[in-house]
Structure 1
């Protein structure tokens, strides 16, 4: 399980990255974890271009 200190109750598909606390530092951390632990080729730039949790989920699912 990936833990970025984000409360599960805050994670809703329509929530923005900012709503859930996924700031620029957390985006870098998430990209690193996805690459190292999950083998997914997701860049910080791609994650940073997302607006909502649904967008992040779609990006990850596409990989």
Structure 2
């Protein structure tokens, strides 16, 4: 798991480390609707990942959130890569 995401889950959301398993759903991990809202804000502030509460809920598990974050971070990197100064 991404260390920054894990830090957010453990430190900011105060989830128990044993609950942070890829297959764990939000209830199993100890996350309620307020935690989802807070996670959305923290992902934006700390990681530059924009994910709505609905998108996070659609992820369904901790592993789903990890995949969503990885995909969004990958997209951010791809969009910020210069195209060699040439315009299409």
With the length of structure 1 as denominator, give the TM-score of the two structures: 0.89
Which of these two proteins has the greater Rg computed from alpha carbons? 2
Higher helix share: 2
CA deviations 1:24-61 (Å, max 9, x no partner) are: 11000000000112111111110011211111111111
Question: Any runs of at least 4 consecutive aligned residues in structure 1 with deviations exceeding 2 A, and if so which?
Answer: none
Any stretches of 5+ residues in structure 1 without a counterpart?
none
Unaligned runs of 5+ residues in structure 2 are: 1-6, 73-88
- Higher relative contact order, structure no. (Cα contacts within 8 Å, ≥ 6 residues apart): 1
CA RMSD of aligned residues (A): 1.0
Aligned residue pairs total: 63
